[in-house]
Amino acid sequence: MNKLKGLLDLVQVAIDKGATSVEDVQKAVANQPLNILEKIAPLKTPVKGIKKIQDQTIGSVYDIIRTINQEVNVIAKDLLARVEKGINSKQIG
């Protein structure tokens, strides 16, 4: 069962890192048109505000993904512990 718990942790870390990588790419791609618009003097200030809101929004989405990933890991470990407890109690009885 320890191997399964280790596998659960490995999967959680992989999903976490994957989400962070995708978040970085999405932010970079989303900022490309804004970077161009930011070069236009009258638009510079509003575009900075838009970029801030956009980054916060994208960040929030990936924060939720990472939080769900952590919670799924906790639930999976709890279920695994219950199965392990059931197996051990059957072996004793």
The predicted-structure confidence for 30-84, as pLDDT tens digits, reads as follows 999 999 999 999 999 999 999 999 999 999 999 999 999 999 999 999 999 999 8
Tell which residue, 27, 31, 67, 60, has the closest CA to residue 47.
31
DSSP character for 38? Answer: T
The pTM (predicted TM-score) of the whole model is: 0.82
